[in-house]
Amino acid sequence: MKRIKTLDTRDLAKSAKNGGCGECQTSCQSACKTSCGVANQKCEAK
Amino acid sequence: MIHQYKLKGYNIVLDINSASVHVVDDVAYDIIAMYEGHDRSSIVAAMLDKYKDTEGVNEAEINECLDDIEELKKEGRLFSVNTFEDRAHVFKQRSRVIKALCLHVSHTCNLNCSYCFAGQGKYKGDRALMSFETGKAALDFLVANSGTRTNLEVDFFGGEPLMNWDVVKQLVAYARSIEKKNNKHFRFTLTTNGMLIDDDVIDFSNKEMDNVVLSLDGRKEVHDRLRVNYNNEGSYEKIVPKFQEFVRRRGDKSYYIRGTYTHNNVDFTKDIEHMYELGFRQLSMEPVVCSPDDPYALTKEDLPVLFKEYEKLADMMIEKEKQGDGFVFYHYMLDLSHGPCIYKRLSGCGSGTEYMAVTPWGDLYPCHQFVNDPKYLLGNIYDGVTNEKVVGDFAACNVFSRKECRDCWARLYCSGGCAANAYHSTGSINGVYEYGCELFKKRMECAIMLQIAKHESEEA
């Protein structure tokens, strides 16, 4: 596409079928402790 | 829903439901802004008028761009519909295993930081240390309630956990001894103010702790203003050499130098720069959580300053990366292609459901920020979770349970935010801590922009 560049991102619709294993870290266990977000969490599924 | 913004020369378009990220030129940016609510002919006319003096912008070009937008829409990557709402509630209700504990091994502290949300480690209660027996029972409780989950997380927290170091070591040894037979893997984190770090702490932690969180607010004058001992003496000189040695010997293992910024240092990028100059490369800086009446509370007037600081931080990261010695900022970490699945994005941090805090005497709370609030006592490690009402409230709390989140572009990045912040600012875990939302959104805009810049430099 000439005017639009799309970055490679995870297909969330697909992750609704194969995601949800729950092995990932809880958001607050790393460095925040007083605020929260999930975007910076890693997915543990291989 | 989409979100458009311009930052550092990039025109960025986010598709919210698919979490797709697009970088576009000015024409496409304006067409996308008009796309919903206007027909093709009026978009073409508006663009021809706006870009009449721009070479290469003609009717055919505009129509080609509109075709591209429609193609992305068909692929579900632009103007995609929300198909996840029903799943949020079902998933969180289903997920009734506990996989992480914040172990309050010490409800006491050797520092007396005035901004401490834990009230100098006492959480408005009595000073106490967790016994090995209580900690052991907590680990057994975690294993027993973790279902088929393999990875279990335990954070040694306080107060100051190094004030109960022998128990920490015994608990790690016990956890390791029960891993294999239960098919579990423990991941330990230690959060410390650094005062009691010695060779033993460094060697043991660098072997056993997956992550260590080291509290340092940045510049000496900033750090020493609030992080003081009971004689009101700053702790900077004592802890910095210890942290440097700790990190030097840690090799590739994860750590965070974690600071808190307040109204006193809204120019917090100077503190991050200072951490960098001290040799640290994995950094985190959090806005203070406190009553609006506290003298160091962040104000409405601070917000635009903080926004600029977050942009400045992004610039600094790009610059250091170019120089070949980049650093990590916790809130700018983003893996667009292999980040969290939709379930994680819908269900959030897991407080009160899959994550709980354990007091020195074995009581359970939804997370460390609710400890000693009698309304939020969930039960204890011996009798299990008995307050089903509160657990149910947390289980029902998801990104679509708040109107403000439902309408927010950042909802699948923040997942509804911190329940404790919501509770402390509005009186309800279903409330919204608006100040935190503003900061979060700014951080995400910067984090996504950094990914785009990284992508661009890799392509170059």
Beta carbons within 8 Å of B453's beta carbon, 6+ residues apart: B8, B10, B318
The pLDDT value given to residue B431:
93
Q: B161 to each of B136, B145, B194, B199, B230, how far by Cα in Å? A: 16, 24, 10, 16, 18
Q: What is the DSSP letter of B219?
A: S
With CA atoms as reference, report the closest residue to B351 among B333, B371, B381, B380.
B371
Q: Which residue has the tokens 């001894």?
A: B177
The pLDDT value given to residue B402:
87
The pLDDT value given to residue A25:
84
The answer to whether residue B95 scores a pLDDT higher than 70 is: no
CB A36 within 8 A of CB A28: yes
Neighbours of B248 (CB within 10 A): 10
| C-alpha to C-alpha distance for B86 and B307, rounded to whole angstroms | 34
Contacts B330 to A, Cβ<8 Å: 30-32, 40
CB B27 within 8 A of CB B51: yes
Three-state DSSP state, B457: helix
**Average pLDDT of the segment spanning B147-173:** 96
**% of residues, chain B, pLDDT over 90:** 87
* Closest Cβ–Cβ partner in A7, A24, A32 for B344: A24
Strand (E) positions, B366-426?
Answer: 379-380, 384-385
**Average pLDDT of the segment spanning B423-433:** 93
Phi-psi category of B124—alpha, beta or left, where left has phi over 0 and alpha has psi -120 to 50? left
CB B103 within 8 A of CB B135: yes
* Closest Cβ–Cβ partner in B69, B84, B100 for A26: B100
In this prediction, residue A11 has a pLDDT band, given cuts at 50, 70 and 90, of confident
Contacts B256 to A, Cβ<8 Å: 30-31
For residue B141, give the H/E element and its range.
Answer: helix B132-144
Give the distance from CA A20 to its chain's centroid.
11
**Average pLDDT of the segment spanning A8-23:** 86
Beta carbons within 8 Å of B433's beta carbon, 6+ residues apart: B417, B418, B421, B422, B424, B425, B426
For B167, half-sphere exposure in the C-beta direction (CA atoms, 13 angstrom radius) is: 24
Which of B349, B367, B450 is the mutation pick for testing A, counting most A CBs within 10 A? B349
Query: B288: nearest CA in chain A?
Result: A34
ipTM computed for the complex: 0.93
Ranges B91-100, B276-285, B405-414, most confident: B276-285
| Residue B323: both structure tokens together | 């120089």
Which of A33, A41, A43 is the mutation pick for testing B, counting most B CBs within 10 A? A33
B229 to chain A, any CB pair closer than 8 A? The answer is: no
CB B224 within 8 A of CB B215: no
Neighbours of B64 (CB within 10 A): 14
| Sign, CA torsion B8/B218/A35/B295 | negative
| C-alpha to C-alpha distance for B98 and B101, rounded to whole angstroms | 8
| C-alpha to C-alpha distance for B80 and B20, rounded to whole angstroms | 10
- Interface A-B, measured as beta-carbon pairs within 8 A, has a size of 215
B211 to chain A, any CB pair closer than 8 A? The answer is: yes
Contacts B339 to A, Cβ<8 Å: 10, 39, 41-43
In this prediction, residue B100 has a pLDDT band, given cuts at 50, 70 and 90, of very high
The pLDDT value given to residue A3:
97
Query: B456: nearest CA in chain A?
Result: A7
Q: Which residue has the tokens 């829409």?
A: B73
The answer to whether residue B218 scores a pLDDT higher than 70 is: yes
**Average pLDDT of the segment spanning B54-64:** 95
With CA atoms as reference, report the closest residue to B261 among B228, B292, B301, B218.
B218
Q: Which of residues 127-186 of B touch A (CB under 8 A)?
A: 149-151, 153, 155
* Closest Cβ–Cβ partner in B28, B191, B341 for A19: B341
The nearest CA of chain B is from the CA of A45 a distance in Å of: 9
A17 to chain B, any CB pair closer than 8 A? The answer is: no
Contacts B333 to A, Cβ<8 Å: 40
Query: A2: nearest CA in chain B?
Result: B65
The nearest CA of chain B is from the CA of A21 a distance in Å of: 8
**% of residues, chain B, pLDDT over 70:** 98
Diameter over CA atoms, chain B: 77
Backbone torsions φ then ψ of B221, nearest 5 degrees:
-65, -30
Hey, are the CB atoms on A3 and B155 less than 8 Å from each other? no
In this prediction, residue B3 has a pLDDT band, given cuts at 50, 70 and 90, of very high
Neighbours of B76 (CB within 10 A): 17
The nearest CA of chain B is from the CA of A16 a distance in Å of: 6
Instruction: Kindly report the length of chain B.
Output: 460
Of residues B346 and B157, more confidently modeled: B157
CB B274 within 8 A of CB B231: no
Neighbours of B368 (CB within 10 A): 26
**Average pLDDT of the segment spanning B305-316:** 98
| C-alpha to C-alpha distance for B415 and B286, rounded to whole angstroms | 18
**Average pLDDT of the segment spanning B49-71:** 96
**Average pLDDT of the segment spanning B253-280:** 97
Backbone torsions φ then ψ of A6, nearest 5 degrees:
-110, 125
| C-alpha to C-alpha distance for A26 and B145, rounded to whole angstroms | 16
Phi-psi category of B384—alpha, beta or left, where left has phi over 0 and alpha has psi -120 to 50? left
B379 to chain A, any CB pair closer than 8 A? The answer is: no
Contacts B149 to A, Cβ<8 Å: 22-23
The nearest CA of chain B is from the CA of A43 a distance in Å of: 5
Three-state DSSP state, B312: helix
| C-alpha to C-alpha distance for B377 and B386, rounded to whole angstroms | 9
The pLDDT value given to residue B93:
63
In this prediction, residue B430 has a pLDDT band, given cuts at 50, 70 and 90, of very high
The pLDDT value given to residue B277:
98
The nearest CA of chain A is from the CA of B164 a distance in Å of: 20
Contacts A28 to B, Cβ<8 Å: 102, 349, 351, 355, 367-368, 418
**Average pLDDT of the segment spanning B8-37:** 97
Please write the tens of the pLDDT for every residue from B339-384.
899 888 888 888 999 999 999 999 999 999 999 999 999 999 999 9
**Average pLDDT of the segment spanning B388-416:** 90
The nearest CA of chain A is from the CA of B68 a distance in Å of: 7
End-to-end CA distance of chain B: 31
The pLDDT value given to residue B347:
81
**Average pLDDT of the segment spanning A7-34:** 82
Please write the tens of the pLDDT for every residue from B74-92.
999 999 998 887 776 666 6
Q: DSSP of B155-190, one letter per residue?
A: EEEES-GGGGHHHHHHHHHHHHHHHHHHT-EEEEEE
Query: A28: nearest CA in chain B?
Result: B349
Diameter over CA atoms, chain A: 43
With CA atoms as reference, report the closest residue to B268 among B329, B194, B190.
B329
| Secondary structure (H, E, C), B1-35 | CEEEEEECCEEEEEECCCCEEEEECHHHHHHHHHH
| Residue B336: both structure tokens together | 């667009």
